[in-house]
């Protein structure tokens, strides 16, 4: 007589369910490691469903730590160093291009905006490829495009060449290489997931210091071309190490659509996506314009204005793991993301009152902390709304595609407001602060839609 089937979620048997044990094993096979499932197959064949269930649970449950798991965080840290450290460098390029090409700021901003846009758009496709098991090959392909595009940037002499090399080629490569480590890290952690993702995200701040500092230091000494080529060689080394270290854990989800349209029927997911769109619409305003503001409004020289960008980027490093800890152990990822984006909006409004050198340095410190805190828990917040870890790459990639249009329009919008107002920054700062505050409010609505109005729920 066949044994009662097992409910994998509850660990109980159900007399009304007619699923056979071997079918339960087949279902679990798609989400678990092959070795443990092979052992579970043997136990189920021998009639011991309880042992089979225990083996399935151990395979599905993330290890939540250990050398291999934290090594994946290291790989993610290295990839973030490139994927988001590169875009944060554009403030340095913007200064150089402004003097070299003698073009309006809004037009120059399109290079960085298109780079960001394509980075986010590519995440949809690279996320699905990572879910399907093409982790290392996807990372390698993106790495090649980033390094190749950077070398092409180093020999460009005209605006359209810079646009294609730095905006298009590098932008696509950054997005393609970003998703594989994110999906892998997500599969290794559960209780510590937000912390692990936040620690990996500290690579963003590290890269955002290394690459601008490299460019700023080398341009006066070896020229623009070799300064950019050196950064390409650094990126190549980082990408090779990350590709070697990355180790997928879950059995790939080979079948399934590129876009999970059903996610857009989930209220919390839709509201979170809208909130992310609003937040990222204005988020890169500070990265693109803080050094230009310091030079044109406060009176900084070029070197000192770039130092402000480095300070802001560097201060985003310590705040990311702190918010990851708060998200996992105190508030929950979505709650933390909501609070941090509201703080970031407040910092943008505070920028309006900054007019002296001392105030600029203080602002750079606190804006960097707030920006890093918000971005550090962004991925973890979405992960907390994603029940199936095998779909994390696809669902996050979909959010990134929507956010891509925000990053495409954001910096040029700010530049157009500044140019329209005769070079003054007031209304651009007001616009950015209001938009980020609206994003925070919308993310809070996603939280309410998911849990109700209960304040003490950690999500």
pLDDT in tens, 150-163: 999 999 999 999 99
Rounded mean pLDDT of 268-274?
A: 92
Q: What angle do helix axes 333-351 and 357-376 make, rounded to 10 degrees?
A: 160
The predicted structure's pLDDT at residue 37: 43
Higher pLDDT pick, 73 / 110: 73
- Ranges 127-136, 141-150, 223-232, 426-435: which has the least confidence: 127-136
Rounded mean pLDDT of 244-251?
A: 84
Highest-confidence segment of 127-136, 218-227, 401-410: 218-227
Where residue 252 falls among pLDDT bands split at 50, 70, 90?
A: low
On whether the pTM is more than 0.85, the answer is no
Mean pLDDT of all residues in the chain? 82
The predicted structure's pLDDT at residue 11: 38
Q: Is the pLDDT of residue 53 over 80?
A: no
The predicted structure's pLDDT at residue 310: 86
Rounded mean pLDDT of 417-431?
A: 92
CATH for the 67-451 domain, from 3.40.50.12780, 2.40.160.40, 1.10.760.10, 1.20.1250.20:
1.20.1250.20
Convert the pLDDT of each residue in 276-317 to its tens digit. Answer: 999 999 998 888 788 889 988 999 887 888 888 889 888 988
The predicted structure's pLDDT at residue 65: 82
Q: Is the pLDDT of residue 34 over 80?
A: no
Share of the chain above pLDDT 90, in %: 37
- Ranges 61-65, 70-74, 282-286, 404-408: which has the least confidence: 61-65
Domain coordinates of the chain in residue numbers? 6-60, 67-451
The predicted structure's pLDDT at residue 239: 96
Convert the pLDDT of each residue in 164-214 to its tens digit. Answer: 999 999 999 999 999 899 889 988 988 888 888 888 988 988 998 889 888
């Amino acid at each position: 007589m066949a044994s009662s089937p097992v409910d994998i979620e509850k660990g109980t048997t159900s007399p009304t369910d007619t699923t056979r044990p071997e079918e339960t094993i087949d279902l679990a096979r798609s989400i678990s490691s092959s070795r443990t499932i092979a052992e579970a197959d043997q136990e189920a064949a021998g009639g011991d469903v309880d042992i089979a269930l225990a083996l399935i649970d151990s395979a599905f449950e993330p290890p939540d730590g250990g050398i291999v798991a934290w090594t994946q965080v290291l790989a993610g840290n290295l990839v973030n160093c490139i994927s988001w450290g590169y875009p944060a460098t554009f403030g340095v390029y913007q200064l150089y291009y402004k003097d070299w090409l003698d073009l309006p700021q809004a037009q120059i901003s399109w290079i960085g905006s298109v780079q960001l846009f394509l980075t986010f758009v590519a995440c949809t496709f690279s996320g699905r490829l990572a879910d399907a098991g093409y982790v290392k090959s996807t990372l390698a392909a993106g790495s090649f495009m980033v390094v190749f595009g950077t070398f092409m940037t180093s020999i460009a002499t005209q605006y359209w060449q810079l646009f294609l090399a730095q905006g298009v080629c590098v932008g696509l490569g950054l997005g393609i290489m970003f998703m594989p480590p994110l999906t892998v890290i997500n599969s290794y952690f559960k209780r510590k997931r937000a912390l692990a993702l936040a620690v990996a995200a500290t690579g963003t701040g590290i890269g955002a210091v290394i690459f601008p500092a490299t460019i700023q230091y080398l341009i006066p000494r070896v020229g623009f071309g070799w300064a950019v080529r050196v950064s390409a060689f650094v990126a190549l080394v980082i990408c090779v190490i990350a590709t070697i270290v990355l180790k997928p854990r879950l059995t790939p989800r080979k079948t399934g659509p590129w876009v999970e349209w059903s996610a857009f029927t989930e209220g919390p997911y839709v509201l979170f996506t809208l909130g992310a769109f609003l937040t990222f619409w204005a988020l890169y305003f500070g990265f693109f314009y803080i050094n230009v503001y310091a030079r044109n409004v406060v009176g900084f020289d070029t070197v000192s204005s770039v130092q402000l960008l480095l300070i802001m980027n560097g201060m985003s490093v310590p705040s990311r793991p702190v918010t990851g800890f708060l998200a996992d152990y105190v508030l929950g990822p979505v709650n933390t993301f909501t609070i941090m984006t509201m703080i970031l909006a407040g910092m943008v409004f505070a920028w309006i009152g900054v007019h002296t050198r001392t105030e600029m340095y203080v602002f750079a410190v606190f804006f960097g902390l707030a920006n890093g805190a918000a971005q550090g828990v962004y991925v973890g917040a979405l992960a907390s709304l994603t029940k199936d870890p095998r779909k994390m790459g696809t669902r996050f990639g979909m959010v990134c595609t929507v956010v891509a249009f925000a990053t495409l329009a954001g910096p040029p919008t700010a530049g157009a407001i500044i140019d329209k107002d005769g070079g003054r920054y007031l209304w651009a700062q007001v616009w950015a602060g209001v938009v980020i505050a609206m994003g925070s409010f919308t993310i809070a609505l996603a939280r309410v839609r998911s849990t109700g109005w209960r304040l003490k729920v950690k999500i």
